[in-house]
Amino acid sequence: MTALSPLAPAAFPTMPPLAGVRLASHACGIRYQGRTDLLLVEVDAGTSVAGVYTKSLTCSAPVDWCKTASAKGKGRVLVVNSGNANAFTGALGVASVERTAAKTAELFDCKKTEVYIASTGTIGVPLPDEKITAALADARAKLSADSWADAAAAIMTTDTFPKGSTRTATIDGVTVTINGIAKGAGMIAPDMATMLSFVFTDADLPHDVLQELLKKGTDRSFNAITVDSDTSTSDTLLLFATGKAGNARVTDAKDKRLADFRKKLFEVLLDLAHQVVKDGEGASKFVEITVTGAAGNKAAKTIALAIANSPLVKTAIAGEDANWGRVVMAVGKAGEKADRDRLCIKIGGVEVARNGQVVEGYDETPVTAHMKGQNIVIETDVGIGKGKATVWTCDLTHAYIDINGSYRT
Amino acid sequence: MTALSPLAPAAFPTMPPLAGVRLASHACGIRYQGRTDLLLVEVDAGTSVAGVYTKSLTCSAPVDWCKTASAKGKGRVLVVNSGNANAFTGALGVASVERTAAKTAELFDCKKTEVYIASTGTIGVPLPDEKITAALADARAKLSADSWADAAAAIMTTDTFPKGSTRTATIDGVTVTINGIAKGAGMIAPDMATMLSFVFTDADLPHDVLQELLKKGTDRSFNAITVDSDTSTSDTLLLFATGKAGNARVTDAKDKRLADFRKKLFEVLLDLAHQVVKDGEGASKFVEITVTGAAGNKAAKTIALAIANSPLVKTAIAGEDANWGRVVMAVGKAGEKADRDRLCIKIGGVEVARNGQVVEGYDETPVTAHMKGQNIVIETDVGIGKGKATVWTCDLTHAYIDINGSYRT
């Protein structure tokens, strides 16, 4: 067992019931003993669904399944197991997903394409799906509107804390609620893969609107975090809208009536993404990296991720070393335009380098004090244009090696 | 001081004198005490030079200088210092290189553009070039043809062993010699940057031919290795040809008379590149990764580097864990075409996965035995085309964190 992350929040948030959503957790013994490993969520008929997935070209069978289902945009049931990712399991994996969807659809009297399936855990081991399907009826009997904390715990693998977030928003005067849960950053030992997140709202919004909002929100949250640059074969983010809040249906994602909903949805996504980073393997520091002055926003993000993924930057942060030379190095390797002789770097708000060289009379004292804290802020202006991006990561510590290099000798 | 790498060769090779090349090492106290930190090499008039450099967009002033000089293709003197990289030093850095080149040209009665300058060490600290120029005359007095081991030692920063390689080749019946030295993989703590390598031959070959051969050889050697994916601001590889061997001048790099020279030059480059990996920070295993079946050779190299740079693959190797699921993950994140359901993986020559799933009756015993060795071989066929590439890396260990995260607390 891994110790609780020092960056863990004080408590799981109080998540209100959400009209049209019922959850159940169950222990079906796929890999773990003495804990829940199955999450079942039933949503009311008429629920719209949107999805964003891993960009991996070797993605898992459940990801392929959900991509097809969410393109249709409707949902009734979500089935998630932890302990086995059903990834790199070839034809066996595809058959396993098919069977699980068919049995679930039968039990809930819905279409197979209204069933969403996600798996997280060991790669390359056939999933004993019969354990899941055998448990479905028992799990169904436990469905309740109040099980958010249990739901977040059931999908954990080597996460050290359950992750949840909630907000309320108004759409055209009607109050709606957004509840989200998530698990596990990066690829988690041993053999573990996957970031999963499931977000639910009682708002009444069509698939196209949800999909556009989810994609935009993901770019600034889950797609702006990195633990170790490694990409899971199973990353899945689903957004379900039950429509029970009774708001007027809005059919354009850019409609001003969605401004508050958009803001709050993005807050939930970012909160969950930050929690994922804070539970990154071995994380002892939470790091915010902002790049300004790039050729465009995309270039800024590429540079910011090059800094965030640099093992040398990450080890320096772990060592509480204000090593701005490594930030320069990472800017240089990103492959996006940067003016070496106009580069400026701030650490903890203190200017360290300006116009390509260390500031005159540089006093490291306040910067070193900042590096000793848990929240590290690095800002870099690359002196080219107006592009801007912020990403978040954690440091690279001995604990990362311990967790991921299961020393057998 | 860091302990000698467990992957270090038994001894520095015996390097023969090379007609037209004289070397001297000197201690001028730039940063280190009690060791040499200046390498001076004089080559005969008429020497051709080729260069390959870091792709970093924040490269150092010495790199900019050498790029301009090697484009002209002639050389007389090489000046290398360790302890300070003269990188991210702005206008001060440029002036420093200018001064060093001018004083050297004056002393050796040559053009400034025939002087090559390389610096390795701390980033962001102005280089006290007066210490170098003050030492030039003394160093010059020590020039000799037999100082290869001392030369390799003078350019070290946190390298744990000096790196040299030598071969003889024939060009049209005439024997020529190739001697090369190199230093330091990746970015080396604290604040250290740079891979430097200097290769010399007495062959008579024009700049254009040298440049083409060097570029091709680099693609398969120095540009096919990685320690931690971080790119130095100072990487410099120079090839000097004095022309003293008396071979007939060949003016086409593809000329068959150069077949043996090309082969031996590539061997020297690969030998040096391998030594750099074997001295990678904290390295305990030398890892060869071959990708076949990619859409093209370039795609194969991208996939191979994605595997080689994956922190999860590298920590698994450190842990002697035959974790092929992480290889699949890395293939998937590379962004190049791969057929998940035709993917095959061999570790230590043993087939582990075939057609996208673990082989039937997989016996981990021989694979585990292989993982316990110092030389790890991973082969992956991605099932698309005929593209092929091999790259080399080392594992990611606790020692890497120790070296790079200079824990101050």
| pLDDT single digits (tens) A150-167 | 999 999 988 999 999 999
Distance CA B393, CA B185 (A): 10
CA torsion sign for B261, B266, B269, B271 is negative
Q: Name the residue of chain B whose CA is nearest to A94's CA.
A: B341
Question: CA-CA-CA-CA torsion for B400, B405, B408, B409, nearest 10 degrees?
Answer: -90
Tell whether B177 is in a known binding site: no
pLDDT at A189 over 50: no
Specify the pLDDT at position A55: 84
Distance CA A89, CA A99 (A): 15
Once rounded to an integer, what is the mean pLDDT over residues B357-376?
Answer: 94
Structure tokens belonging to residue B157: 């920063």
Of A75-84, B86-95, B367-376, least confident by mean pLDDT is B86-95
Q: Which CATH number describes the domain made up of A21-276?
A: 3.60.70.12
Once rounded to an integer, what is the mean pLDDT over residues B110-135?
Answer: 95
Q: Give the gap in angstroms from C-alpha A124 to the nearest C-alpha of chain B.
A: 6
Q: At what angle do helices B311-318 and B297-309 cross, to 10 degrees?
A: 60
Tell whether B158 is in a known binding site: no
Query: Predicted ipTM?
Result: 0.83
Q: pLDDT band at residue B196, thresholds of 50, 70 and 90?
A: very high
Residue (of B306, B333, B155) closest to B226 by Cα position: B306
- The CB density around residue B252, as the number of other CB atoms within 10 Å, is 12
Once rounded to an integer, what is the mean pLDDT over residues B205-221?
Answer: 95
Nearest to B311 among A311, A334, A340 (CB): A311
Q: What is the Cα B160 distance to its own chain's centre?
A: 15
> Could you read off the pLDDT of B13-72 as tens digits, one per residue?
999 999 999 999 999 999 989 999 999 999 999 999 999 998 888 889 999 999 999 999
Q: Give the gap in angstroms from C-alpha B173 to the nearest C-alpha of chain A.
A: 44
Q: Which residues pair with A402 in a beta bridge?
A: none
Are the beta carbons of A312 and B230 separated by less than 8 Å?
A: yes
Once rounded to an integer, what is the mean pLDDT over residues A215-242?
Answer: 88
Are the beta carbons of B231 and A332 separated by less than 8 Å?
A: yes
**B373 interaction partners in chain A (CB closer than 8 Å):** none
Specify the pLDDT at position A184: 82
Are the beta carbons of A122 and B405 separated by less than 8 Å?
A: no
Specify the pLDDT at position B186: 54
pLDDT at A192 over 50: no
Residue (of A305, A311, A314, A250) closest to A286 by Cα position: A314
Average pLDDT, chain B: 92
Specify the pLDDT at position A408: 40
> Could you read off the pLDDT of A363-372 as tens digits, one per residue?
999 999 999 9
Q: Where are the domains of chain B?
A: 21-278, 286-404
Question: CA-CA-CA-CA torsion for A312, A316, A321, A322, nearest 10 degrees?
Answer: 50
Are the beta carbons of A401 and B397 separated by less than 8 Å?
A: yes
Strand (E) or helix (H) holding A53: strand A38-53
Once rounded to an integer, what is the mean pLDDT over residues A194-203?
Answer: 92
pLDDT at A376 over 90: yes
Tell whether B231 is in a known binding site: no
Distance CA B283, CA B277 (A): 8
Of A17-21, B299-303, B309-313, least confident by mean pLDDT is B309-313
**B331 interaction partners in chain A (CB closer than 8 Å):** 57-58
The fraction of chain B above a pLDDT of 70, given in percent, is 96
B185, B195 Cβ separation under 8 angstroms: yes
Q: Name the residue of chain A whose CA is nearest to B92's CA.
A: A357
Structure tokens belonging to residue B186: 């990746």
Are the beta carbons of A404 and B340 separated by less than 8 Å?
A: no
Nearest to B57 among A55, A89, A332 (CB): A332
- For domain A286-404, give the CATH superfamily: ArgJ beta chain, C-terminal domain (3.10.20.340)
pLDDT at B303 over 60: yes
Structure tokens belonging to residue B219: 């693609």
**B329 interaction partners in chain A (CB closer than 8 Å):** 56, 58, 123, 187, 193, 230-233
Q: pLDDT band at residue B232, thresholds of 50, 70 and 90?
A: confident
Q: Name the residue of chain A whose CA is nearest to B93's CA.
A: A357
Q: Which residues of A are catalytic?
A: 194
A287, A317 Cβ separation under 8 angstroms: yes
Catalytic residue among B54, B104, B194, B397: B194
**A294 interaction partners in chain B (CB closer than 8 Å):** none
pLDDT at B185 over 80: no
CB interface of B with A, residues 244-303, below 8 Å: none
Specify the pLDDT at position A96: 97
Specify the pLDDT at position B98: 98
Once rounded to an integer, what is the mean pLDDT over residues A298-316?
Answer: 93
Q: Which CATH number describes the domain made up of B21-278?
A: 3.60.70.12
pLDDT at A188 over 80: no
Residue (of A67, A66, A21) closest to A43 by Cα position: A21
Instruction: Note whether A351 contacts B: Cβ–Cβ < 8 A.
Output: no
> Could you read off the pLDDT of B128-141 as tens digits, one per residue?
999 999 999 999 99
